Structure 1
Amino acid sequence: MTGGPDLVVAGAGGGLAGALRAAELGLSVLVVEASEHFRRGNNTSMSTAMFPGAGSRWQKAAGVEDSPDRFAADIAAKTGGRADARLARTLAEVSGPLVEWLADSAGLPLSLVTDFNYPGHSVHRCHSVPGRHGSSVIDHLARRVREHPGIDLLVPAALVDVTTTGGPGAATTVRGALVRYPDGTQEEIPAGAVLLATNGFGADRALVRRHLPEIAEALYQGGERSRGDALRIGGGLGAATGYLDAYQGHGAVAAGAGTLVGWATIIHGGIMVDLDGRRFGDETRGYSEYAAELAARPGSTGWIVLDETIFEQCRPFQDFRDTVESGVLVWADDAEGLAEATGLPAGALARELEAGAAAARGERPDEHGRTHWERPLAAPYAAVRVVPALFHTQGGLLVDGDAAVVDPGDRPIPGLYAAGGAAAGISGHGAGGYLPGNGLLPAFGLAYLAAGAIARRTTTREN
């Protein structure tokens, strides 16, 4: 890469997909990653590897009628119309081609998830890999990146700033990256463009307290390198920011194990109760908003109650299997035994189990408005104590349809791109607008789009 690469990618999560796409389009690429253990420590590797793809071939084969229009409508409905409409439309349109590219070019063994549907998706739209865990996605993509002759991987090294040209009266143009090594030395690397794929600011407690006070004291279950680097770098260039109060939370992290129990337990018919043994809402609205709601309950904790059928239905998830293997599930033959095993008030718990079963059978409306019940829970029961968590932030640098970072006047900053948590996403404000998969979609979709835009710009400049 004499003279520097065409593209420097900061972050080896969704940025790996951007690197592969850029190399496929003929660009020379350098991926800079700060963590030596990124294959187990970034947000993609911690995810359930759900990729929304509207209109994919797997949907067509399964008879699922979907389209970018329908996906965009679902985003608007879940966010109350407060998402970035342009970006939502852009990502809805690229979602189908993206999942097919991930399978056909990047080689991920994707398939459509049809055994249950996540809150907010009106049809089966999420695609995943065997085991439904992001670590296998990162392992696979990292191997592809290391094998590609057009990509260099610099690990561990942190992109701490970008270098620019331009001055008074001239547009600022990004011309390279400033990289810091573990020994404290720094190097300027010239480049045609820089893609910030450094995630958000979930690991910076001060920023979380400033922008996300409702979840600031909850467990942080995300990458430790998510420290707001993109906000700092982009802010230094006058970039616009938005949706800094948006985040993905989760209400189902196993207490004592730190593993993800998973919301499939709820979708398949489980319930959540607080320490008083009472349900406190319609659990099927979404796991993200339930994080803050659980955090507000006594002790900031609760219990998910499931049964043997749900237990078996959740086995496809590696996270759930890890939870089971940790030994934190308790079992009981009836409601009284479950109360004894959990320490919950027996009368309240029994009433909730009976009321939920009656609502599931259609005998009476649920007092919390829950209408989705696959079936009534049946003894023997299992339960697991859960705590709320912040997974990742959903606000950041504003980008256009090419993933180019823009200024407050919506003018692109030449040479600077952002993807994933480094960019403002499509979850609107707060936690309630998060749709499952809409963390990975901006991470991979914007990186994919940035690669295409940089390739077109490079070709035009060379010609």
Structure 2
Amino acid sequence: MSPTVERVASFSAPVHTAVAIVGGGACGLTAALTLSQLGVDCVVLERDALPTGSTALSSGFVPAAATQAQQAQGISDSPALFAQDIQAKAHGRASPVLVDAYSRAIGPAMDALAHHHGVPWQVLDTFLYPGHSVHRMHAVPEKTGAGLMMRLHNAAEAAGVVVLTEAQVSTLYVNHADQVLGLGFVRPDGQLEQLSCDSVLLACNGFGGNAELVSTLLPEMRDALYAGHTGNDGSAIAWGQQMGAQLADLGGYQGHGSWAVPQGALISWALMMEGGVQINALGARFHDETQGYSEAAVHVLAQPGGTAWNVFDDRLLAFAQDFPDFRDAQAAGAVHTLPDVAALAQHIGCPVDTLRHTLDAVHEGQDPVTGRHFKRSLEAPFHAIRVTGALFHTQGGLDINAQCQVLRPDGSALPNLLAAGGAARGVSGDAVWGYLSGNGLLSAIAGGFIAAQTAAHQVAQATAQD
């Protein structure tokens, strides 16, 4: 089903809503919950039978600064420091307008979800994700993306938010002044239904599930395993292009260098940050694992066979078992335990002398080859997980301003089309190494929060003109 824009002089439909939200992931539901607090009616249209999206496939960890949860745990942080960390990871190539807007908005957005909708945040303070100066990664008690989506979905139901599932948006009805008047969506029976609205938020997707776009825009990930949501088909880009919108940061994406094979499970990068290493089929390390899990995807894919082994010890195993996703992967047989270096080498299929030399170099201090700083050595027995590099979601898309309005090439905003989350450019710049841990959910939740306020303002203007 090709996403289309149909130009019309006027449009009417049996049902009208103030704001139509395309996509029921973290971005769409955050926007809907924010609109409910602002007293603005909305409808969320979700293509799946149950709202999950990219969020449910993620770790569910959200970076945010100066939140009440941080304050409760005695953590000092600020939007300015957060913005500095974002730009440092992106080498200054992230949109300064969005970096400032998102780093400022994410704290109030998280606090609002907690205060008004009972989403219980806790700050993960036992490890520091790469690129973050302080502990600012927030999680719900389940510590999973699925748990976060469950909490948001329950909050939406409690708030009376209308979520139409199995409603795949196919058409935007747009007048000749580029104002979106409504949309058409297809139900499971194949029938096209229509909805008119005052404002539209594209909170739907990136393009990671579109093999043609990935091959064209992200050639280094052309043959990579895609571990994201199949709904990320580039619909937002297609609609935007048909309306003459500007695109930005199309080379940016979130990869992950720790996707367990053949189990198909995400292994937390916290293992690497706390002392684990990645070893290739030759028995050697090949990068500084603490630089980030996104660029690690490219490093792992460049190894023989496009795979590597996460190697760690008992202390790190106990640490990792605090994460439900890891426990699930372990139950699926992803973790192999070997008594000594010789057994580990046999399991990997590499020369034992090479592996012993590699592990002997893992000790307190700086590794002269990769530059990584280690706190301690790894001790037998060893645990190993075979992993590959995967593409999770894209970070480029429709160009937007600080209010999440979609922009034309001349910088002017389309009248009432908004975009956030995977549909829009993020704050990772235009390359894989620009992704700071959690940038995807930062864009989703901060973007949804901002877009809702912009939509509410647009609705008020439309009401005043009637």
Q: Does the 8 Å contact 1:356/1:366 carry over to 2?
A: no
Say whether 1:255 aligns with 2:261: yes
Residue identity in the other structure for 2:368: D
Say whether 1:55 aligns with 2:66: yes
Q: Does the 8 Å contact 1:71/1:92 carry over to 2?
A: yes
Q: Which residue of 1 aligns with 2:390?
A: 389
The alpha carbon displacement at 1:9 in A equals 0.8
Whole-Å Cα distance in 1 between the matches of residues 451 and 353 of structure 2?
Answer: 57
Residue identity in the other structure for 2:144: H
User: What SS class does the counterpart of residue 408 from structure 1 fall into?
Assistant: coil
Whole-Å Cα distance in 2 between the matches of residues 27 and 38 of structure 1?
Answer: 21
> What is the TM-score of this pair, normalised by structure 1?
0.94
| Deviation readout 1:305-329 (Å, 9 max, x if unpaired) | 0111111111222211111111121
Residue identity in the other structure for 1:57: Q
Whole-Å Cα distance in 2 between the matches of residues 76 and 352 of structure 1?
Answer: 33
Q: Which residue of 2 aligns with 1:22?
A: 35
- Equivalences for 1:47-86 in 2 at 5 Å? 47-86=58-97
Relative to 1, partners in 2 of residues 1:21 and 1:2: Cα closer, same or farther, differing over 3 Å?
farther
Residue identity in the other structure for 1:121: H
Whole-Å Cα distance in 2 between the matches of residues 336 and 159 of structure 1?
Answer: 56
Whole-Å Cα distance in 1 between the matches of residues 21 and 128 of structure 2?
Answer: 33
Whole-Å Cα distance in 2 between the matches of residues 134 and 95 of structure 1?
Answer: 17
Whole-Å Cα distance in 2 between the matches of residues 131 and 305 of structure 1?
Answer: 26
Q: Which residue of 1 aligns with 2:137?
A: 126
Structure 2: segments with no counterpart, 5+ residues: 1-12
Q: 2:166 aligns with which of 156, 167, 176?
A: 156
- Equivalences for 1:279-294 in 2 at 5 Å? 279-294=285-300
Q: Does the 8 Å contact 2:361/2:367 carry over to 1?
A: no
| Deviation readout 1:371-424 (Å, 9 max, x if unpaired) | 2x3432111110111011000000000111111111111211111111111000
Q: Which residue of 1 aligns with 2:4?
A: none
Relative to 1, partners in 2 of residues 1:154 and 1:365: Cα closer, same or farther, differing over 3 Å?
closer
Number of residue equivalences: 451
Q: Which residue of 2 aligns with 1:204?
A: 210
Off by >6 Å, runs of 4+ in structure 1: none
> What is the TM-score of this pair, normalised by structure 2?
0.94
Residue identity in the other structure for 1:250: H
Q: Which residue of 2 aligns with 1:367?
A: 369
Q: 1:103 aligns with which of 84, 98, 114?
A: 114
Whole-Å Cα distance in 2 between the matches of residues 375 and 421 of structure 1?
Answer: 39
Relative to 1, partners in 2 of residues 1:62 and 1:153: Cα closer, same or farther, differing over 3 Å?
closer
Whole-Å Cα distance in 2 between the matches of residues 189 and 461 of structure 1?
Answer: 17
Whole-Å Cα distance in 2 between the matches of residues 172 and 234 of structure 1?
Answer: 11
Relative to 1, partners in 2 of residues 1:331 and 1:76: Cα closer, same or farther, differing over 3 Å?
same
Q: Which residue of 2 aligns with 1:272?
A: 278
Whole-Å Cα distance in 1 between the matches of residues 300 and 443 of structure 2?
Answer: 27
| Deviation readout 1:432-451 (Å, 9 max, x if unpaired) | 01011110011111111111
The alpha carbon displacement at 1:147 in A equals 3.4
Q: Which residue of 2 aligns with 1:13?
A: 25
- Equivalences for 1:392-403 in 2 at 5 Å? 392-403=393-404
The alpha carbon displacement at 1:2 in A equals 7.5
Whole-Å Cα distance in 2 between the matches of residues 8 and 369 of structure 1?
Answer: 50
Q: Which residue of 1 aligns with 2:242?
A: 236
Residue identity in the other structure for 2:456: A
User: What SS class does the counterpart of residue 224 from structure 1 fall into?
Assistant: coil
Whole-Å Cα distance in 2 between the matches of residues 428 and 383 of structure 1?
Answer: 33
Q: Does the 8 Å contact 2:51/2:165 carry over to 1?
A: no
Whole-Å Cα distance in 1 between the matches of residues 463 and 84 of structure 2?
Answer: 40
Whole-Å Cα distance in 1 between the matches of residues 102 and 459 of structure 2?
Answer: 23
Q: Does the 8 Å contact 1:132/1:316 carry over to 2?
A: no
Q: Does the 8 Å contact 2:15/2:194 carry over to 1?
A: no
User: What SS class does the counterpart of residue 244 from structure 2 fall into?
Assistant: coil
Say whether 1:307 aligns with 2:309: no
| Deviation readout 1:28-81 (Å, 9 max, x if unpaired) | 111111111433xx2101111111111112323333322111111111110111
Q: What is the RMSD of the two structures over their aligned residues, measured on CA atoms? A: 1.5
Q: Does the 8 Å contact 1:403/1:450 carry over to 2?
A: yes
Q: Does the 8 Å contact 1:53/1:97 carry over to 2?
A: no
User: What SS class does the counterpart of residue 21 from structure 1 fall into?
Assistant: helix
Relative to 1, partners in 2 of residues 1:260 and 1:324: Cα closer, same or farther, differing over 3 Å?
same
Q: Which residue of 2 aligns with 1:443?
A: 444
Residue identity in the other structure for 2:125: T
User: What SS class does the counterpart of residue 192 from structure 1 fall into?
Assistant: strand
- Equivalences for 1:25-40 in 2 at 5 Å? 25-39=38-52
Whole-Å Cα distance in 1 between the matches of residues 57 and 103 of structure 2?
Answer: 23
The alpha carbon displacement at 1:3 in A equals 4.9
Whole-Å Cα distance in 2 between the matches of residues 124 and 38 of structure 1?
Answer: 29
Whole-Å Cα distance in 2 between the matches of residues 198 and 19 of structure 1?
Answer: 13
Whole-Å Cα distance in 2 between the matches of residues 258 and 345 of structure 1?
Answer: 27
User: What SS class does the counterpart of residue 403 from structure 2 fall into?
Assistant: coil
Q: 1:349 aligns with which of 337, 347, 355?
A: 355
| Deviation readout 1:165-213 (Å, 9 max, x if unpaired) | 2x3xxx3111111212223221221001111111100010000000001
Q: Does the 8 Å contact 1:10/1:194 carry over to 2?
A: yes
The range that moved more, 2-11 or 397-406, is 2-11
User: What SS class does the counterpart of residue 117 from structure 2 fall into?
Assistant: coil
Q: Which residue of 2 aligns with 1:406?
A: 407
Say whether 1:456 aligns with 2:452: no
User: What SS class does the counterpart of residue 415 from structure 2 fall into?
Assistant: strand
Q: Which residue of 2 aligns with 1:420?
A: 421
